[in-house]
Every structure is written in C-alpha cells, then in structure tokens.
Amino acid sequence: MTGILIRGATILTLDPVHGTEPISGDVLIDGTRIAAIGAGLDAGPDVEVIDGRGKLVMPGLVNAHTHSSETFFRGRYEKMPLEVWLLYAYPLLMGPVIDRDLLRLRSLLLATESLKAGVTAMTDCFFDPPHHDLDRLGTVFSAYELAGIRATVSSDVMNIPTLAALPFAGEVFPPDIQRMLDVGPMIGAQAYLDFCRAAIAAFHGRAGRLNFQIAPSAPQRCTADLLTGCFDLAVQHGLPFHCHVLETITQAVTGPELHGRSLVRYMDDLGVLGRNTTMAHSVWVDDADMALMGRAGVSVVHNAVSNLKLGAGVAPVRRLMDAGVTLALGTDGISSNDTASIFDVMRVAGLLHGASGPDADTWLSAAELLRAATLGGARSAMMEHVCGSLEPGKAADLILLDLDDCAFTPLNDIARHLVYAASGSNVKTAIVAGEVVMRDRRMTRFDEDAMFAEIRARVPAYLAAHGEIEEKNRFLEPYFAEIHRRSAAGHSGVYRYAGDAPLRQRGWPPLRD
C-alpha cells in the first residue's frame, strides 16, 4: 500500500453517523481514497505518517459557485448593483480577450487562494466572451490540474443580447445606443451543444478530479431551445446544469415582463428543473417557486457575501431548505466578494440569517452551514458520492487545521468555532485525491513565488488596459442604473428611491421618459 496515515487527530467526518460530533483517531488514505477511519490504524512501510496531534481533520470545503474570470478584479469595484457592476467587470464594449499566459495565471491564482482557504473542490463558471474556445478552456483545466484542486468547470453561455434580457431597456436606452450595442447573431443552441460535447470528450474526468458542467448563464439570457438542449445534455451525461436564477430585483421583474411568469416557473414549464439543476443565488424566489424547486430536487448556491456587496438582497434560505432544496455555499467571483474563502461565507450567512426575524428556530445553525459548505456543495456538483464527508471509499479530499490557535482556544464547540471564529489562515494542509497539494501553507506542485512574481510583473499593464475599457463603457452606466431603479421602485415597494435625483447629482445626462 502507498498512501498517508494521519495519526492521533481530532476528526470531524460530517458523515451520517457522527455529523459534527468530533472523534479522536486516525485517517488512513490508500491511493486517492480514504481506506479507514478509526483508532490505532496500522501504516505500511510505504505510507507517509502525518502527526495529527493538535490538528483538526475535516472534509475539504466546496466552493459551489465562483467565476475565475474576475480574479484580477479584486478590490476594484464597490457601491454598484449587479446591473451596473456587470458593465465594468464584463464590459459590453469589449477589448481584446485576456492572453493565454494571463488566463493561466488567473486560474492558478484562484486555485492557490482556494486551497489555502481550505477549499478542495470548486465550481468555476468560467466566462470568456465573445467566443467558446476549447484551447482557452483547456488552459483553465491545465491550471487546475497543475494546482491539484478538484474543479467542475463550465464555459458559461448566453445567446440573447443583454438589452433583450432586461426589463425597460427599450424605454431607457435611446435608439442609437441600442443599435450600437447590437452585436448581431449570437451562438445558436446546436453550436453550443456541439461545443459542450467536444469539451466533455476533451476534459471531463481529466486527472480523475476535473469535470465539465453545462452552464447556461441565466434563463432570461438564453433561448428556450438552448435551455432545454443544455438540460437534456446534462442529464444524458450526469452533469450539473448550473444557472444564475433570480439574483437581483431586476431579474424578479424580468420574468413577468418577458415571460408573463417568474423565471423559476418559466424554467419549470420548459422542463429544466431537476436533480441536475443548480441555481446560483435564488434571492428573489417566492413560495410557489420554492415549492417547484423542492419537488424537483434542485440545489441552490447561497452567495451571501456577494449578494450583500452587490445589494442583491438576502436569499430566503430557511424557506428554501424547508421546501426540500439542497443548500450549498459559494463565494461568487472575487470581484464581487472579494475573496475565495468559504469560511467568510459561512460566517456571514450565519450572522445574516439571524436578522431574518425574531424566531431563533429559523436561524441557520453552525451544523447546517458546515453541511452546506461540504456535502451541500458536493451535491450541487453531483459529487456527493465522491467528496463532502470523510468516509471509507470516498475521495481523500480533506484539510488539516491547527487547533493550537486563538480561534480554537478555549475549545467549546468545534462546529461553531469553524463557522464563527476560524478563517482560511487556520488551514495548514490540504489533501486532494490522496495527495498533499498544500503543506504548511505552501503549494507543493508548483513554484508559487514564481507565479506571484509573474502576476506582479504582468497584471498591472492588463489592468491599465482594462481601465481604458471601463472608461469606454462608463457612459452606459446611468441607463443600467435606471433599469435597476425602475425595477426596484416597481416591485411591491420593497425599495424606495427619490425619483432619479441620485442620477442627476452624479452629473449624468437626463434619461428618456
């Protein structure tokens, strides 16, 4: 046998038997999988022994929704609703695509930060407009293969023009700007599905830990034939069907405006709700939506930090769970968070939902948040049989945290310490598929110092060029802000705005009536 024996540790298995109750003992890893968990396990001559005394061993965290495309935009934006933020993070008037070397560095940086924060598996909704390119997608896969992380990667697609996917756009945008933003025909359903089939053949199952997923960006941004084709392909191959749904109040207005019903009910009518379906955000769902989602076995990724930064609102997480929806946690992209830490998301989610009402029984417990950050995330990626808990036969995806630290001293309840006191900096070692890929907070499979040096040398010029693209798009900001304002003002009076005075105070030109 070749493998690893972690001896004499405190173990949090999150399995059906022990849950969040810690046990003391050993973890034996044989190859890529967990062979045994117990006390006094024997190590063969070729087994590496790791001293687990003073260490907590637990499943690696799962980041169920992020966008590597935003990794170089950390700390760049604030005080912007999603519809405005998108204009700068994903500009409509685009410049050249990021070059392959920077694409590799960007992906490698996200994987590095994730592993150092205890994330051993992530779902990357990679978005690389204006085209879908197998070679560029392969660059992302290669970076994750090098880092050693487990990843589920998409090539997000939209084939409805931005203005056609927004309410009030025809009223707000002058005709000349509408013509300027008309990009012509977008990718057809069959062409995208052919691309997905090629991506599955090229990348799915790579290195035994990298997978492809089918990811229509959002129901309002994709044609009906694209949505149904994507769902059928996902079911055929046992892949996640990952989609942004009802993230903002504008999207709550979009469904009734464009389809005469909520976006969730529109998806249900198309037949694209099911076990494979993962919805990112789901902030503006109502009770009827949630009932449909629960019956279909949908997973929802709660991006608590990103939703707050973009002013999107607070997802009704307890009601979603009560309806039978699986809860996962995600950071969203680093431009709207601005870290890759699921520890941050757990803590914010735990605190945030305490403000949901006076009934403390409805608040989220540390145990529920830990489950969402591990098994829930694994289920959302259709990998609950692979990772998310420590059980013999499952992949050896686990992290070791130092218990001899302020965050765990004095030690009362490990689950609560993890959610409310710990951070990614407490993670000392990360093991993925039986391999130590981060040891003593240093990456083991590549030279991280060289990566950081290359980023420092090359990225400033890229960001300067991106700044020019931002300026090119800035004149569009008041129009997107107005769509957000009208959506909020017209949605059951949830948000109140004093006309368009804030727009005028910022010196923007008058908008169309």
The reported pLDDT for the residue numbered 93 is 95
Distance CA 277, CA 293 (A): 9
Mean pLDDT on 351-375: 91
Total-model pTM: 0.95
Question: Which residue type does 266 have?
Answer: Y
Q: Is the pLDDT score of 498 beyond 60?
A: no
Q: Is the pLDDT score of 508 beyond 90?
A: no
Distance CA 232, CA 277 (A): 11
Distance CA 264, CA 287 (A): 11
Per-residue pLDDT tens over the stretch 83-140 = 999 999 999 999 899 999 999 999 999 999 999 999 999 999 998 877 899 999 999 9
Token pair 């070679």 in the structure block, residue: 135
**Confidence band of 205 (pLDDT split at 50, 70, 90):** very high
Is-contact 314 352, C-beta < 8 A? Answer: yes
φ, ψ at 16 (rounded to 5°): -65, -25
Per-residue pLDDT tens over the stretch 288-319 = 999 999 999 999 999 999 999 999 999 999 99
Question: DSSP assignment of 165-188, as one string?
Answer: GSTTHHHHS-HHHHHHT-------
Closest by Cα among 269, 359, 273, 348 to 314: 348
**Confidence band of 338 (pLDDT split at 50, 70, 90):** very high
Mean pLDDT on 3-22: 97
Structural domain boundaries in the chain: 61-380
Range of weakest confidence among 64-73, 74-83, 494-503 = 494-503
Q: Is the pLDDT score of 219 beyond 60?
A: yes
**Confidence band of 355 (pLDDT split at 50, 70, 90):** confident
The reported pLDDT for the residue numbered 506 is 32
Distance CA 511, CA 513 (A): 6
Regarding the domain with residue range 61-380, which homologous superfamily does it belong to in the CATH classification?
Answer: Metal-dependent hydrolases (3.20.20.140)
Beta carbons within 8 Å of 16's beta carbon, 6+ residues apart: none
Q: Is the pLDDT score of 493 beyond 50?
A: no
Mean pLDDT of the chain: 93
The reported pLDDT for the residue numbered 152 is 98
